[in-house]
Structure 1
Amino acid sequence: MSAMKTRDIKTAEDAKRIVEERGLSHVKVGFFDIDGVMVGKYMQQKKFLSALEDGFAFCDVVLGWDSKDELYDNVQFTGWHTGYPDAPLRIIPDSCREIPFEGDMLLFMAEFEGEAEKICPRGLLRRILERGAKLGYDVSGSLEYEFFMFQETPESVREKGYRNLKSLTPDMMGYSMIRSSVHSELYHELISLSETMDFPIESLHTETGPGVLEAAIAVDDALAAADKGALFKTFVKIWAQRRGLMATFMAKWSPDCPGQSGHVHLSLKDHESGKSAFFDADKPYTMSDVQRHFVAGQQKLMPEFLAMFAPTINSYTRLIPGFWAPTEATWGVENRTTALRVIPGTDKSQRVEYRLGSADANPYLVMAAAIGAGLYGIEQKLEPDEQIKGNAYTVDHPEHQALPQTLWESAQRLKASKPARKLFGDEFVEHFAATREWEEREFRKHITDWELNRYFEII
């Protein structure tokens, strides 16, 4: 019998066989927290094989602290008041992947069960997709990310106070053949990594900015697409650091450079026929009634769901006119100045691009919010506002298209959103909104360079 390949793994029995075939003493298991940060550990083979059948437990503090391991003081799910107990997780057999720089080591993903599943990002997306399935639709998606590369290390950036960092390459050279050819070894390594770890890159090129790249990940069903996006962000950072470099997915790392986006492309298929639910050859822009309602839902709920697309303090420094980031809840056809870009095509390519998200957002939450809002539009048969033709930044917009300007405001809008509670559940909305309020409060404890420069002497 030939040796199993990771992409052949579908069941717990398959997973058991490949681990035993390779004679692994330990297996790597990881999952994603509320901020989209991957956590996990090496698990002894015997324990892993047991966990395949019965699950395993992990301290629920990973759902009760922020991206700096600071404990939330305002969430109900876990905390000192609960004693930070273990929460159950299940291993996802078909998530098996090679880790090319760890010999025969295998990586498996996991997700929370029980009460923790109500706030688990991957679990949330799965529930949204089940909602779509009940409506008769299968959802496909893909993510594309911009990220800056630096000739720095975790030690050097701290020594420099994150100032005067040396970018991988200088100057603004979007789509540069020079840059991608001079550094072709890097590009080839990243492409190879993406193929081996099953988050294949469809296109890779420089973007406008010193050392910035953009990668479009190949389309897949929406849950797998979110897995690919989350793993891509994690392992790009790992790959870069192993090469003595650093990659950042901050929404905006410098006031002198454009921000970094995390766009998502979505399409729906009719489950029975397998045909596009978005494509109608007889309608303007080949845009079906279903796609129109889907876009309308996304547009209507964008201000209420913004915290899921712009989850950090830094996210809001990107949402300014003239830097390729949308500033209102707008839509247009093949218009990159709007928040929603309808892309006409064929039965295979008709889709919508949700352009609001920044690279720092959790892929599972971005997908859940973008799809959930669209399904809500279909359910309610909503109609979009008039599309924007031309420059969306120069158009006077109705008040309801305005987006929250701060993370705190976004958290309040999410908390007050009845559609959010209907789609995502009270437990998730309360928990996530509280984590964003915490993030804002943590920021308020600090004095920025701007404040010192502006007020220290003159006021």
Structure 2
Amino acid sequence: MQNPRDVKTIDDAKKIVEERGLSHVKVGLFDNDGIMLGKYMSKSKFFSALESGFAFCDVILGWDSKDQLYDNVKYTGWHTGYPDAPVRVLPHSCREIPFENGMLLFMAEFKDQAEALCPRGTLRRVIEKAAELGFDACAALEYEFFMFQETPESVREKGFRNLKPLTPDWFGYSMIRNSVHSDLYHQILEMAEVMDFPIEGIHTETGPGVIEAAIAVDSAENAADKAALFKTFMKVLAQRNELMATFMAKWSPDYPGQSGHIHLSLFNRKDGKSAFFDPNQKHNVSQIQRHFIAGLQRLMPEFLPMIAPTVNSYTRLIPGFWAPTDATWGVENRTTALRVIPGSDKSQRVEYRLGSADANPYLSLAAALASGLQGIIHQWEPEEQVKGNAYEQDHSPELALPSTLWEAAQKFKQSEAARTMFGDTFVEHYAASREWEEREFRKHITDWEMDRYFEII
């Protein structure tokens, strides 16, 4: 029987569905917020969609993570009547869902006019720009996420307070924890292998119930697919075990935030060799890598809403909690936003440590790669390398990051580099969606405000 990951063509996709005797398959795609949306589709409908695409209501490009409709975007809305948008199925994305008795999952993406807003399409356009410059991009994403002994019902009954983590206390890299809960860890590892987002390493992190998983390196497009699927099905697997996983940037002020670090490298298309590795330079950093670092650094403040996309993202970016506060770089320095990792021709890379666990993998990777390419195009040079604790040092005001989502959206909207790399249509739509997110937050009164002002002010 055909292996799902050997499916490459439309004919391959039809063959594997027939071989498995499936009456339906699953088809899904990712929205602005990195949320996978989709449906079970009949075999006949799926075969038709493989040949000529299918239609998906474009409301999913016009609503937020709580299905609330944007009132400030041009592409879709009540003014357009929310028509269908054309979608293409990606045969090569075929995967088996391990807990659905041989069920197959196929990914899809928007096409035609809607492709300008499609997160996966946005990343692919940046990858194509890299190819035009003579580079293939490789990436690996790693995520921290908290696990709770809760269900979607219990967290709501508790008002999201007094939640019970999977394990107590601070116990990073614990052999005890991963041995006691080995059944869960093995389920995660098996799912990752079957669904082709193999995990290079997984361990407990610092904090109650927090786990970190590093997904194996791949081409940039594949890496984003794998990261997006990992986040989605990690939540599914948790809930199937009567647990919950959260990728919020920061769920509690008492614990470190949750990162979504991105490891990036470029290889020359002509000979397949690293464009970042030069053994004759300090730390093996080639001139191309220096320009790339400079682009990451200079454009980090402008591209921030693609990396830190929620109101909650900005509660993570504070000193002393393993998250950067300025667009700094250093060599093997985990207090900086960019960590250069010296290595061999295969492993020389840069880690984009600003990345947040709540980010859409397609958009965070697109932002990181695009900013680095801009550095190469303009031959920018990075600021002075930071040595020691970056939190205790003064940095150039130009390296300061926006402190709120609203401020970040304004900077993004005005960015010429963003418009060059992602297109005016995407920039305007995405900036509006982040403005909407901030406005939604402002409608609510927090517990902190009630406690601080109700009686005294």
* TM bracket (short chain): over 0.9
How many Å separate the matches in 2 of 1:374 and 1:423? 11
Matched ranges for 1:254-273 at <5 A = 254-273=252-271
The aligned residue for residue 282 of structure 1 is 280
Match of 1:142 among 135, 140, 143: 140
1:19 is matched with which residue? 17
Map 1:32-111 → 2, pairs under 5 A: 32-111=30-109
1:141 partner SS: strand
**Which residue matches 2:400?**
402
| Aligned twin of 2:312 | 314
- Paired with 1:81 and 1:253, the residues of 2 have a C-alpha distance of 37
Aligned-partner residue type, residue 174 of structure 1: G
Q: Displacement of 1:24 after TM fit?
A: 0.7
Note the 1:157-306 alignment, pairs <5 A.
157-306=155-304
1:296 & 1:50 partners in 2: Cα distance?
47
Aligned equivalent of 1:9: 7
- Let me know the Cα RMSD of the aligned residues: 0.4
Where 1:40 maps in the other structure, the secondary structure is strand
Q: How far off its partner does 1:104 sit?
A: 1.4
Between the aligned partners of 2:241 and 2:343, the Cα distance in structure 1 is 40
Partners of 1:403 and 1:126 lie apart in 2 by 26
Code of the residue aligned with 2:194 in structure 1: it is T
TM-score, normalising length from structure 2? 1.00
One-letter amino acid matched to 1:163: R
Displacement of 1:96 after TM fit? Answer: 0.2
Q: Distance in 2 between matches of 1:72 and 1:28?
A: 28
Q: Specify the SS of the correspondent of 2:229.
A: helix
User: In 1, Cα distance between the equivalents of 2:163 and 2:102?
Assistant: 36
1:119 match: 117
Distance 1:148 1:413 in 2: 31
Supply the distance in 2 between the matched residues of 1:430 and 1:20 (Cα, whole angstroms): 43
Amino acid at match of 1:197: M
1:171-221 C-alpha deviation (Å, 9 max, x unpaired): 000001110111111111100010000000000000000000000000000
Residue 429 (structure 2) aligned to one of 428, 431, 440: 431
Q: Distance in 1 between matches of 2:26 and 2:179?
A: 35
Tell me, in whole angstroms, the C-alpha distance in 2 between the residues paired with 1:240 and 1:157. Answer: 14
Which residue matches 1:30?
28
Deviation at 1:23, TM superposition (A): 1.2
- 1:365 equivalent in structure 2: 363
2:329 is the alignment partner of 1:336 = no
Q: Shift in Å at residue 357 of structure 1?
A: 1.2
- What do residues 11-33 of structure 1 show as CA deviations (whole Å, max 9, x unaligned)? 11110110111111001000000
**Equivalent residue in structure 2 for 1:411, among 386, 389, 409:** 409
Shift of 1:315: 0.3
Q: Shift of the alpha carbon at 1:97?
A: 0.2
Residue identity matched to 1:233 = K
Q: In structure 2, what is the Cα distance between the partners aligned to 1:183 and 1:217?
A: 20
**Counterpart residue type for residue 430 of structure 1:** E
Distance 2:343 2:253 in 1: 37
Unaligned runs of 5+ in 2: none
Matches of 1:104 and 1:164, distance apart in 2: 38
SS at match of 2:160: coil
Give the residue type in structure 2 aligned to 1:178: I
SS at match of 1:358: coil
* Cα distance between partner residues in 2 of 1:441 and 1:413: 17
Deviations 1:68-124 (A, max 9, x none): 000000000100000000000100011000001110110000000011000100000
**How far off is 1:7 after superposition?**
1.2
